[in-house]
Chains A and B, each alone.
Chain A
Amino acid sequence: MITVRIPTPLRPMTGGKSEVEGTGNSIGELIDQLNGAHPGLKDRICDEQGEIRRFINIYLNEEDIRFLTGKDTPVKDGDEVSIVPAIAGGCHD
């Protein structure tokens, strides 16, 4: 199994869990499989063209998948995948 870390804004879709487990041979397959278990998750992570949204980074272990082979990046049992929103903020309270 592959451990996937879920950021706070997406936890309503995983029943509040900060980590879920998934399967697949690539990041793309993993996202599809997770979407089966947690419907709607893919739409939040990927845009209409299926690319990772521009405010999200996905890390395989400690490496950003954009510097590996993107959604084709191979994954295997024991890997850790983190879905991380890019840094944001604002002056409004």
Chain B
Amino acid sequence: MLSIPSDIWEDMIEHARALDPHECCGILAGTDGTITGHYRITNILATMSEAELARFDQAKLSDLKQLSPEERADIAFQMDAQEMSQAQKDIRQRGITLRAFYHSHTFSQARPSITDIKIAMEFESYREKLNIPEPFHVIISLQDKTTPVIRAYRIRHSTATEVPVERR
């Protein structure tokens, strides 16, 4: 169960709307299931050249190479590594815990894609060695622009299971 205070809930939706049609991404932190920290992270895909993309992940490039950087950011996200680390450092200094990664789907449902699950499993293979607690994966859907939907999932063994998320 994830419990997200109204101000953070609204700020996440505002973040998703501000970047629409690009996907937004960020980190939620707190104690147990209660979120008290929210970090917007830059989706660097919109500013990554094909050459830069090719430096890292050929598989990702083959999916995305037909698209411009702007178009790629409409259907995918890549967190800025430095901002992600900065958030993790701040979380540690505040004595709270990383609880979730979030991103938006600007024209599809609030459920993890095959890509989301694959990348979550990749992260899972490092997580314990780096002493990072298991994160929830939160998706903000703007499929219905007037009624955004926020859902949370656990992704384990390549399977996403929805977990309750409440606004308080």
Contacts and interface: CB of A to CB of B under 8 A. Distances in A.
Q: Main secondary structure on chain B at its contact with chain A?
A: helix
B88 A64 contact: yes
Nearest to B127: A84
Nearest to B76: A90
Nearest to B114: A93
B136 interface: no
Interface in A11-28: 12, 18
Interface string B91-129: 000000000010101111000111110011011011001
Given A9-B56, A9-B57, A82-B129, A92 B81 contact: no
Interface in B65-80: 75-80
A13 to B, nearest CB: 11
B84 A86 contact: yes
B56 A89 contact: no
Given A44-B56, A56-B56, A59-B130, A90 B85 contact: no
Contacts of B158: none
A77 interface: no
Contacts of B126: 5, 7, 82, 84
A53 B140 CA distance: 28
Given A86-B80, A89-B120, A92-B63, 4 more contacts: A52-B81, A86-B81, A88-B77, A91-B113
Interface of A: 5, 7-10, 12, 18, 43-44, 47, 52-57, 59, 62, 64, 66-67, 80, 82, 84-93
